[in-house]
Structure 1
Amino acid sequence: MNGHASPGTIISFQGVTKQYEGDAAVLKNVSFEIERGKFYTLLGPSGCGKTTILRLIAGFTVPTKGEIYFDGKLINHVPANKRQVNTVFQDYALFPHLNVFENIAFGLRIKKLKQAEIKEKVLEALRFVNLAGYENREINEMSGGQRQRVAIARAIVNRPEIILLDEPLSALDLKLRTEMQVELRELQRRLGITFIFVTHDQEEALAMSDEIFVLNEGKIQQSGTPTDIYDEPINRFVADFIGESNIVDGRMTADFLVAFAGKSFTCVDQGLQPNEPVDIVIRPEDLEITRPGEGKLEVRVETQLFRGVHYEIQCADEAGNRWLVHSTRKAEVGEAIGLTFDPEAIHVMRLNETEEEFDKRLEAYI
């Protein structure tokens, strides 16, 4: 058993780098742990390394450096067919010449299980994905959402330890995609299997995950619960990538006091150097419109869009900062308004701080 992994850990990456010949490294000295029975999301833009992590876990490729452990055992060179892992691909990868039953049964037949056992397992998997009665349907007769369910049923039929999902919802329309997010989350809870989901859609990640790993340029920028990452982004990239943000330059005047937009404001952050340059994040929903002269900021409305549940209002202050506001209160383009916010709404980010440094700083004053 690998002594470095925490109890309950099923996957452990330790200093993993992946570099293809002649190219820059896709992953750069990445370390993390995946706990059994949780829903994880690897989130980031194209080329950030998230699919490479999936391929390394599946055994489709091997690391250039570092170690990968599965249940405490080194698996760097264990072939894909010897791992307790199944993958759901973006294009479903179903066999068009086989019906639903035979697509799901394919792996079971390779294992030479008896027909009665195959039938029992396939029908059980179909019930799990709400496709009971569809076993004789042809693949070309299925909708996109139904094909996705068949692909998931094929992945879960053998009850693997881990299911890897490589952007499996990206081809679906918005309504169906939202429905499948709920179904996948509930399926994972019922099965108790570890799900590792890859997406570039931050709303999808926030809605579905127990934990999120935010990646950029081959490194994990931040990991944590959706709430942690949304409320406490580690740097400008994470703040900008996760949800909509107002990010402005600031300066930490003292503990609990920060300056930006030409004024000083009370905040809840501490432990930084006096007059240290910082990035300031305030979420659009945390800005409240007031009458001119009654807010903490004075701004002028530049644009306004109605988004159904709120107005999306773009404003600018006299210092040249632009502010995005989500409000149920309507404003007029060209109008001068005030903006107010609570001290808790101000999130101070230290420039170039790593997640480890951020955690140490928090622990120092919690």
Structure 2
Amino acid sequence: MTTPIIEFKNVTKKYDDTLVLNEMNFTIEKGKFYTLLGPSGCGKTTILQLIAGFTDITSGRILLNGEKIDHLPPNKRPINTVFQDYALFPHLNVFENVAFGLRLKKVSEKVIVKKVEEALAMMNLSGFINRDIQAMSGGQRQRVAIARAIVNEPDIILLDEPLSALDLKLRVAMQNELRQLQRRLGITFIFVTHDQEEALAMSDEIFVLNEGEIQQSGTPIDIYDEPINRFVADFIGESNIIAGNMLSDFKVVFAGKQFDCVDQGLRPNEAIEIVIRPEDLVLTEQHQGKLQVTVTSQLFRGVHYEIFAVDSEGNDWLVHSTKKASVGDTIGLEFNAEDIHVMRLDESEAEFDKRLEAYEVS
């Protein structure tokens, strides 16, 4: 079995009395692109700081290639960081910014020139070698920061929201460049973002964080198609989340109706929430769909219409469709059993027994 490159074992981090990370456990494998995804204050940047050695853990252990690294200062770890503000030296040109880490290691000038030229070529910056940093655009500075990180040939590159300052078009272009660069180099990338689309587009694996805990980890497809709870379903993409009951295996009740689904193994009549993604709902004529809803508003998003509707039980629905609807119309919604994802509620045994008894009486 291959030893993970990074392991967190019951890692807790507190700042004074504020709990930032709560007994966190996870592993990072070599050569993959990982994303830490979550809202501001969820602990994702703190994880990077702990891996880099910029701050100390309160309790637990962090292992690098199977060895504890608590005693290692940042400059002794085979890790480089690309910061949100790039942290470039404004008084140095492009070459000297990229060469800075190599000079600290007292690498020979011949090797420095060779490595810097190679790193800049990877980032399509060969013609900017003597350029003043302050004369470069945001996208170019970001490439310089990445070149400075990869020139040291680290085992791990940490990226703390490095694309957040870029405009949308450049940001999308850089997402692709970063992903291709990681695959070409085979270096482990750990990327921090609060942008769900960015995480889905770039990652081999995503850790979804909230309030200092990992809510769910998995591939982008796993996270999107099989959210484990309401937070993940709501945070990753757009979702219709509707209260319901698991009638039996492969049978679910919501919006006042019974539907076939693909889930099983829950208790009879267990309280659940179901998730159906807006793009999985198909507009039909009123009496042809599994559900009938009334359109309340509509927005044009370019590639699709964003249609808001409500059913007879008062549940709100969001539909993404290339078809246009009219406000006030009653329309049908069609979907497949595979489009219904069932999420368990955090319900105590006492609550369940009480509700089940009421259900059986009725």
TM range (shorter): over 0.9
**Residue 174 of structure 1 aligns with which residue?**
168
**Which of 256, 259, 266 is the equivalent residue of 1:262?**
256
Q: Is the 8 A contact 1:160 1:193 kept in 2?
A: yes
**Which of 12, 24, 46 is the equivalent residue of 1:17?**
12
Q: Give unmatched runs, 5+ long, in structure 2.
A: 348-362
Q: Give unmatched runs, 5+ long, in structure 1.
A: 1-5, 354-366
**Residue 327 of structure 1 aligns with which residue?**
321
Secondary structure of 1:9's aligned partner: coil
Would you say 1:135 and 2:129 are equivalent positions? yes
**Residue 87 of structure 2 aligns with which residue?**
93
**Residue 284 of structure 2 aligns with which residue?**
290
**Residue 337 of structure 2 aligns with which residue?**
343
- Aligned pairs for 1:1-366 (under 5 A) are 7-21=2-16, 23-352=17-346
CA–CA separation in structure 1 for the residues paired with 2:270 and 2:175? 42
Paired positions, count: 347
Q: Is the 8 A contact 1:304 1:333 kept in 2?
A: yes
Instruction: Provide TM-score, normalisation by structure 2.
Output: 0.95
CA–CA separation in structure 1 for the residues paired with 2:302 and 2:14? 46
| 4+ runs deviating over 6 angstroms | none
CA–CA separation in structure 2 for the residues paired with 1:186 and 1:142? 23
User: Alpha-carbon deviations, 1:294-328, whole Å to 9, x = none?
Assistant: 11111000111111111100000010000000001
CA–CA separation in structure 2 for the residues paired with 1:260 and 1:156? 52
Q: What's the offset of the Cα at 1:8? A: 4.3
User: Alpha-carbon deviations, 1:110-150, whole Å to 9, x = none?
Assistant: 11111111100100100111111211000011110000000
RMSD: 0.8
- The one-letter amino acid of 2:317's match is W
User: Alpha-carbon deviations, 1:137-184, whole Å to 9, x = none?
Assistant: 000111100000000000000110000000000000000000000000
Q: Is the 8 A contact 2:310 2:317 kept in 1?
A: yes
Q: Is the 8 A contact 1:62 1:77 kept in 2?
A: no
- The one-letter amino acid of 2:172's match is T
Q: Is the 8 A contact 1:235 1:352 kept in 2?
A: no
Secondary structure of 2:145's aligned partner: helix
Q: Is the 8 A contact 2:3 2:66 kept in 1?
A: no
CA–CA separation in structure 1 for the residues paired with 2:214 and 2:304? 33
Q: What's the offset of the Cα at 1:352? A: 3.2
CA–CA separation in structure 1 for the residues paired with 2:90 and 2:3? 39
Q: What's the offset of the Cα at 1:277? A: 0.3
CA–CA separation in structure 2 for the residues paired with 1:175 and 1:20? 38
- The one-letter amino acid of 1:308's match is G
Identity percentage over the alignment?
72
CA–CA separation in structure 2 for the residues paired with 1:194 and 1:321? 44
